[in-house]
A and B are shown apart, each in its own frame.
Chain A
Amino acid sequence: MDSSIASILLLDGVTNGAIYALLGLATVLVFTVTRIIFIPQGEFVAYGALTLAMLQTGKVPGTVWLLLCLALLACVMEFVERWRHLGDINRALKAGLKTLAFPLLIALLSIWAAPQQFPLWVQAALSVAIVTAFGPLVYRVAYQSLEAATPLVLLIVSVGVHFAMTGLGLLFFGAEGFRNPSFWDERFALGPVALSGQTVIIFVVSLALIVLMWLYFEKSLRGKALRATAVNRTGARLMGISTHASGQLTFLLAALIGALSGLLIGPTTTVFYDSGFLIGLKGFVAAVIAGLSSYPGALVGALFVGIVEAFGAFWASAFKEVIVFTLVLPILLVRSLRSGHSDEEH
């Protein structure tokens, strides 16, 4: 292998790694605030890419209908719960409608906009909005009542949500794959490697998101409130931080990151309804390498996974997955020994 091949592989690994890093970040985010190991993170990615693909063909994506159904369900659940809790029908109604408002707006907008074939960036923005609206709804419907459950139960719920979302993805998008047009067709020469505009966008967006997240959680009050919820639920509630709102906000961010990732990989990869799982899993591996707690660590872990994957595919393409997932084990072991053993966590 010469240096030009190595550098191309490195670029490929880092590009994929950037996407895995985004997903790793979302995974760490969700876990640190809600203790949920969110396996369906990859599904947001697939939904994002495929929603845009559907909009490109001028049809209303199935995700819009799912959004409406989910929003209605969440609205009813919110209404019932508030009514039982407060006894006041008006306030309960208001709460329910609040849940319904944004998704309904987005859905109606999409239904109107889909046949209009707006330019790419408009459709991209719309796709992101649709998938992002999913986040808080998924939390409300599946997880909110289980807030106090053990991480194991939450993990199994995540599995259930993953199954449901994958099956629905098949229903809406069919079994064949799609590829989105590139956002930026330019090509740049960087020594022996050719950098495509798309790759540049991936790097820039990933970096920007990482910096933004770090700023948010370190500097803003809302971000710190989210971290507080993760450390001690009851304490946070006593301080006036709504754990429900924290959970929903977290999922909103996770869905947003997932949707953006979907847009980023759409042009470079053929996305199928079930592509999300494996991508999400690798992002997940990256997060675990970071101990599910550190953002820079997730970035490093993700780059590691991407590069191992690229070189592994070069040397023994059939065994690429075996290499990636086997290498994870010793890393997990080191991580686990270092983080020590907490008796309560067991």
Chain B
Amino acid sequence: MNKKNLTILLLALAVPVTAWLPLPDFWIAQLNYIGLYALVSLGLVLLTGVGGLTSFGQAAFVGIGAYTTAWLTLNTGMSPWLTLFVGMALTGVSALVVGFITLRMSGHYLPLATIAWGLSLYYLMGNLDVLGKYDGLQGLKSLSIGAIDIGQGRLFFVLCWAILIAGALALTHLLDSRPGRAIRSLKGGTQMAEAMGISTFRYKVTIFLIAALFASIAGWLLAHFQRTVNPSAFGLKMGIEYLFMAVIGGVGHVWGAIVGAGLVKLLDDYLQVALPALIGTSGSYEVIVFGIALVLVLKYLPDGLWSVVARKFPKAQRVVDWQDAADLPVRAKPAIGEPVLVVDKIRKQFGGLVAVNDISFDIAAGQIVGLIGPNGAGKSTTFNLVTGVLSKTSGRVTFCGQDVSALPSREISRQGMARTFQHVKMIADMTVLENVAMGAYTRGSSGVVSSMLRTNQAEEQRLMKEAQRQLERIGMGAYMHEQAGNLAMGPQRLMEIARALCCDPALLLLDEPAAGLRHKEKQGLIAVLRQLQGEGMSILLVEHDMDLVMDVCDQLVVMEFGTLLTRGTPAEVQANPAVRAAYLGTEH
């Protein structure tokens, strides 16, 4: 039994063992609350810690789950085991509605929107007659299996923590999978993810939904544990507290949610008794301590408490078990000499400024074409137009016979066009292998559910094998298990190329691949490019290093002020007086 399965078994056993120990009833009650809160915080870890989407409204989703089961069990006598799913469905629908509106917002609009609808739902719950207004609903029954009441005390502890640990494991599995890599890319901005074929909006909605479902389950458990539901547990204050728990525990770490929830609950409890004794009068003064604690944690321990633990137990290196996996299918590529990319009079205007002025060129299979020009010529803009990152004002782009002019970048990526970026865009805390495997996103198909249940292993192995192959192809095989953030600039750029190669492209677009490389590294890059060309790859290159460009390119396209100046072989372009004038000024 390997180490991973052993840990899981130990965790699974820990729960019933803890329940069996002669702990005081009060401790068990505390652990029950901690388990409930941790479940909600778990969703926040996924949403905020990994996805970078701050939500203050999770408490409202807890409320929907709680009120659904409360109303249904009280008024229709439905079994709580059924109302759980009804609640999840309702919460899911509201999460989708809210998500579609708010997740299109960027930056600081999102947390504000979550505050707005969190408050809105809270006041709605508190003012509807059917939900008992601010008094809420009372008299709920405890959960039970047959005649056994598992809704209180130790049996509830087992139920609650079993669900919690299952959830935590599911999340851990999710984050180490194809959709997981997509989710982890959300935080760093959408450009790179979209270029890898990932629909960032879809994943944002997905993690929002998952977080809401976790909250809904917690609401269901809470309702039947407390046997009363009341709006005050679902207001903004509680929403803030959940985020607080996640942050203190370590919002980027799955187990941080549990640590955070535990710490906050215990501290809350301790302070409730200790502070009044200290100050001399009773009152809820714990908030003062929490407020100060929050500020201190963010100042001195921004990664939360779990990061301290994680540092002591560094992650084990990934076990290479995919040698026997089948190869991924490759797409049919055009034969040498056939047209791969035809750019026909593309134009980009920003208001009155014409950045790209009716540029036309084409690339045949097996060619390396360089796009050069002085600074501000519009090379990167052209790049972005071709790859679909920017929308064109007019013009056509045909790729392998297909018109891709109107497609977004993730669709173009699927067609077989892969790119790197001027400033390296990678996920620093993933390994090189995992970063490169992101490139193979479009060649896989496993979804969220299969990732959580770990039934996607066969496909994962194939993706990892492909990633390793591409790394070795460009000579980076030794860096496979290194953390991407530890690499120097040169290897990082090569890693980006490997990642682009994982898309199985017919055309590779490289944006200043030699920038910041030392001489020897540039030589290595030239060797790689030649090798790729030898294997039939077409490459479009934007570059400033003239020696490299003249050395490696078959054709050059020269731009100046957004307009095509000339095109031809390196020798022709070097001799062209207009080109010399553009770079060096006219001769007198």
Contact = CB atoms under 8 A, between A and B. Distances in A.
Asked if A and B form a direct contact in the complex, defined as CB atoms under 8 angstroms apart, the reply is yes
Interface of A: 37, 142, 145-146, 149, 151-153, 155-157, 159-168, 170-171, 175, 281, 284-285, 288, 292, 318-319, 321-322, 325-326, 328-330, 332-333, 335-337, 339, 341-346
Contact of A325 (B123, B127, B298): B123
Contacts of A292: 108
Contacts of B113: 328-329, 332-333
Interface string B185-203: 0111111000000000000
Contacts, number: 148
Contacts of B295: 142, 157, 160-161, 164
Contact of B288 (A153, A155, A171, A330): A171
B191 A343 contact: yes
A190 B124 CA distance: 37
Given A288-B112, A322-B120, A322-B123, A153 B298 contact: yes
B288 A344 contact: no
Nearest to A154: B298
Given A322-B123, A325-B119, A336-B109, A163 B288 contact: yes
Interface string B79-117: 000000000000000000000011011111101110111
A286 to B, nearest CB: 12
Contacts of B285: 167, 170-171
B418 to A, nearest CB: 19
B106 A159 contact: no
Given A170-B285, A346-B52, A160 B116 contact: no
Contacts of A345: 106-107
A146 to B, nearest CB: 6
19 contacts: A145-B299, A152-B111, A159-B294, A160-B244, A160-B290, A161-B291, A167-B284, A170-B283, A321-B123, A322-B127, A328-B113, A332-B102, A332-B116, A333-B113, A337-B104, A341-B190, A346-B106, A346-B107, A346-B190
A43 B186 CA distance: 35
A166 B288 CA distance: 8
* Residue of A142, A175, A339 most packed against chain B (CB within 10 A): A142
A230 to B, nearest CB: 14
B517 interface: no
Contact of A156 (B102, B106, B107, B294): B294
Interface in B292-313: 292-295, 298-299, 302
A288 B191 CA distance: 26
Q: For the side of the interface on B, what is the size category?
A: 35 or more
Nearest to A320: B123
Secondary structure dominating the interface of B: helix
Contacts of B299: 145-146
Contacts of A341: 106, 190
A160 B289 CA distance: 9
A330 B113 CA distance: 10
Contacts of B458: none
Interface string B396-435: 0000000000000000000000000000000000000000
B240 interface: yes
A164 B109 contact: no
B10 interface: no
* Residue of B190, B284, B288 most packed against chain A (CB within 10 A): B288
Contact of A281 (B104, B115, B244): B115
Given A325-B116, A332-B116, A153 B109 contact: no
B145 interface: no
Contacts of A326: 116-117, 120
B189 A166 contact: no
Contacts of B54: 152, 155
B546 interface: no
Contacts of B127: 318-319, 322
B112 A162 contact: no
Contacts of B189: 343-344, 346
B123 A319 contact: yes
A325 B287 CA distance: 25
Contacts of A167: 284-288, 291
Contacts of A152: 48, 52, 54, 111
A337 B113 CA distance: 14
B268 to A, nearest CB: 12
A153 B302 contact: yes
